[in-house]
Structure 1
């Protein structure tokens, strides 16, 4: 765990939720964790709806330049990290990757590898703290953590925006006719609360046997890091419950500050005590 256990209060976002996924993805990619504040700031720019194109471009260029330099170091001295393995795999093909290609891919992995998971930890714990009966249920049966995480992924849906698609021809979807030229919005939160798939979906049920959800996408576009994200969430939430049984909110939910203009929904901060 982080330094959260050394005081009687903390900001769960700053002191726990952000550091854990960042450290994991840094170790996997081979990115020095000492630089995590830099890439977290640039990640926030890339994930913000309020950032203009100039700011987004600058953030992307900084990240690609930073990772490009790391890749050059790995080309010269391979390590056991994901960057080195990516380079080695590309060298076995007919067209080895240029530095810019793995750098762009690494930016995607670095940003998505910590941003979504970090923003899921605190709302997940918030829901548990706001539902004492469910919290007691999970404490009594820690083996529920797997189904609990799946339920929280459906119940919260930190990816709040809809995926836009443009109909190029007339098509019928779910009994609804869509004309050529019309737009469709695939709303992830709505799909995760679909009553035909999740009965009583507006009720938090930690023991629900969820067949599937849209938290990590679906089909050909499913998030490749979904299993790692699930493990991180299970370990983070269960560790908090085990190590700090007196954990409670330091301020009412109504006073909590949520993100309003980011691609990934979550809390700006979450003050807790024990």
Structure 2
């Protein structure tokens, strides 16, 4: 790690990393472009189905090697020169499972939630203990159908700028199980970025999956370039605020998701 083709802006002296699953890889091009303009490189360390939690995998076959992958990734990062890591994943899917593999052992017991919380806290703690600033990207609204294709179909039917929404209450119901885990690490070196600020609130009670002809979600989960750019802007805003606070010598406080 990292794979050479997953290193962006490598000529810059400072490098950040993004760690996670295919959702993180969907964010990478937009984030790399913005960091390039700041003189910062980016290493993409991603694996399909693998949320960034060391030594833990979901039970489905494509995800069974995630524990080892993430453990190797964390080991690499704590020994690298990378000092800022973005964690991004399909958290609703990952935290919504009933069975996991912990250190190679499949577990489906009443204490799985506690073990999962401890594993995530340990992952974040390993990074921050190494002097790494961690940015957690929170859940975003998801569709139940292919969003970009639906936008195209509506345009074809004569609606030039379709908006596709879900109820904000539905999004909260999807996401609340994840918040308990993502809110838990209290280290001051943990920043939080909430995509709900982008997708929700234009109109009370709704979250936008596509707005005025611009799809934010490509399929049901992954960002389009427009969606990724909007989230990348929020990541940079959080980093700049943190940098300004650090320069002024004031303790960093992690914002809540609402």
> TM-score if structure 2 supplies the norm length?
0.29
Greater fraction of residues in helix:
1
Whose radius of gyration is greater, 1 or 2?
1
Higher relative contact order (CA 8 A, sep 6+): 1
Greater fraction of residues in strand:
2
> TM-score if structure 1 supplies the norm length?
0.28
